Amino acid sequence: MSTSKTLLTILIAVLAIAAFSSVYILEETQQAIVTQFGRPVGEPRTTPGLNFKVPFLHKVQFFDKRYLEWDGDQNQVPTKDKKFIFVDTYARWEITNPLQFFIRLRDERSAQSRLDDILDGETRNAVASHDLLDLVRSRNRDPEITEDFMEEIEILEDISVGRANIEKIILEKANERTSDLGVRILDFRFKRMNYVDEVRDRVYDRMISERNRIADQFRSEGQGEARKIEGDKERDLAQIQSEAFRQAEEIKGRADAEATDIYAAAYNKNRQSVDLYKFVRSMESFEKSMDENTSLILTSDSEFFKYLRRLN
């Protein structure tokens, strides 16, 4: 009796395990194929929900249904006009046929490696087939002049293809090579471009030289303007000083004329006082120059004799 119960328990456990192994759930973000001994069986499963398989014989391989990321390595590539640049790229891709994907690539790691070969190769071919201007610019345009010194900048050369079109070319050619892999590249972009060290140093030197030229032009214009301002200042100063000197001389002249008028009026008004003053000063002069023993001989036209006659 105990043996029968044990066998029944084992049978129930085996049936439960078989039932559990025959069911799998496919999520919204997944797609899958069923394999038997490593070979695909049936069509790919892409509808989310509950699915069934043969237990113990079938194995489910799940693949992502979402957009996947590819990030390229930075590579040194020569352009058509022989300029070496570093190119860094990225892309987005998806698995469109999980059965074909499994047959050709097996898993995402192999797919990433295959995309490295395809996208890096097409990037090198595209860069080597176009000039640097086509790789860094997307359209033809005239430079915007915001300062006077920029008027001397030459007009930009026209491009024939442009960066956006080169990205489309790489995308189309890469999709042609991945058409039998069960994947589709959705988008491809240049993430970054830069000169190699030697070329970048020369470009920087040229940029520095150009900026120094512009700075020298500013300094020259500033010095010229400073000299002009200095000359205007000297001229205005000389004009102000000349005008001030003229006005000062005019004021002096008027003051001298007024003083002369005042002296003349005072002289005419006090003539007798002036004569007395002159007489007193003359007497003081004689008194200091003569003593008691001095004999004085006067002529008839001497000033002292005139004073004496006037007093008599």
The pLDDT value recorded for residue 270 is 59
Structure token pair of residue 54 = 């043969």
Question: Cα–Cα–Cα angle for 98, 104, 110, nearest 5°?
Answer: 90
The pLDDT value recorded for residue 51 is 81
What single-letter DSSP state applies at residue 89?
A: E
Are the beta carbons of 11 and 17 closer than 8 angstroms? no
The pLDDT value recorded for residue 133 is 85
Are the beta carbons of 195 and 79 closer than 8 angstroms? no
Beta bridge partners of 189: 90
Give the end-to-end CA distance of the chain in Å, rounded to a whole number. 194
Burial class (CB in 10 A: 0-12, 13-18, 19+), 116: middle
The pLDDT value recorded for residue 97 is 92
Structure token pair of residue 250 = 């005019």
Domain 68-141+157-195 has CATH 3.30.479.30: yes
- pTM beyond 0.75, yes or no: no
The pLDDT value recorded for residue 277 is 66
The pLDDT value recorded for residue 231 is 87
Distance CA 132, CA 89 (A): 16
The pLDDT value recorded for residue 167 is 94
The CATH 3.30.479.30 portion of the chain extends over 68-141+157-195
Query: What residues of the chain score a pLDDT lower than 50?
Result: 1
SS3 state of residue 301: coil
